A and B are shown apart, each in its own frame.
Chain A
Amino acid sequence: MSNFITTDKGPLIPRNRDAHPVAYDPGYKTSVARSPNLPLLSMESSPSEETGPTFGHGKLGALDNNLILNWTKGAAPAVGERILMHGRVLDENARPVPNTLIEIWQANAGGRYRHKKDTYLAPLDPNFGGCGRTLTDENGYYQFLTVRPGAYPWPNRGNDWRPMHIHISVYGHSFGQRLITQMYFEGDPLINHCPIAATIKNRAQLDALVAPLDLAHSRPLDYLAYKFDIVLRGRRQSMFENKLEGM
Chain B
Amino acid sequence: MVQKLETLVETASQTAGPYVHIGLMPTYAGNAGYYDEEIGVSPIEEGCEGEIIEITGSVYDGTGWAMRDALIESWQPDAKGVFPGQEGADPKVSGHCRFAAHAETGEFTLRTVKPGKVKGRGGVVSAPHISLWVVARGINIGLQTRIYFEDEDNSSDPLLARIEQRPRVETLIAKKTGEGKYRFDIRLQGEGETVFLDI
Contact = CB atoms under 8 A, between A and B. Distances in A.
Interface of A: 11-12, 14-17, 19-23, 25, 28, 30-38, 40-49, 51-55, 58-59, 61, 64, 70-71, 90-94, 101, 103-105, 113-118, 129-131, 133, 167, 169, 175-176, 178-182, 196-197, 199-200, 202, 204-206, 208-209, 230-234, 242-247
A103 B131 contact: no
B8 A90 contact: yes
B10 A231 contact: yes
B74 to A, nearest CB: 9
B73 A33 contact: no
A31 B135 CA distance: 12
Q: Is the interface of A mostly helix, strand, loop or mixed?
A: loop
A54 B85 contact: yes
Given A15-B198, A33-B188, A178-B73, A232 B162 contact: no
Interface stretch (B50-58, B105-113, B119-127, B177-185): B119-127
B37 A113 contact: no
A92 B35 contact: no
Contact of A181 (B13, B87, B138): B13
Interface string B17-34: 111111110100111001
A11 B135 CA distance: 24
A21 B14 contact: yes
A105 B34 CA distance: 12
A19 B139 CA distance: 16
Q: Is the interface of B mostly helix, strand, loop or mixed?
A: loop
A234 to B, nearest CB: 7
A202 B77 CA distance: 37
A225 B93 CA distance: 40
Nearest to A207: B12
A194 to B, nearest CB: 10
A181 B163 contact: no
Contact of A93 (B7, B19, B131): B7
A30 to B, nearest CB: 3
The 10 nearest A-B residue pairs measured at CB: A105-B23, A30-B138, A34-B138, A53-B96, A40-B198, A33-B62, A21-B140, A182-B14, A51-B83, A175-B75
A115 B21 contact: yes
Among A19, A45, A131, the most chain B Cβ lie within 10 Å of the Cβ of A131
16 contacts: A16-B9, A20-B12, A34-B139, A34-B188, A41-B159, A41-B198, A46-B158, A48-B75, A48-B146, A51-B75, A59-B35, A59-B37, A61-B35, A90-B8, A176-B144, A180-B142
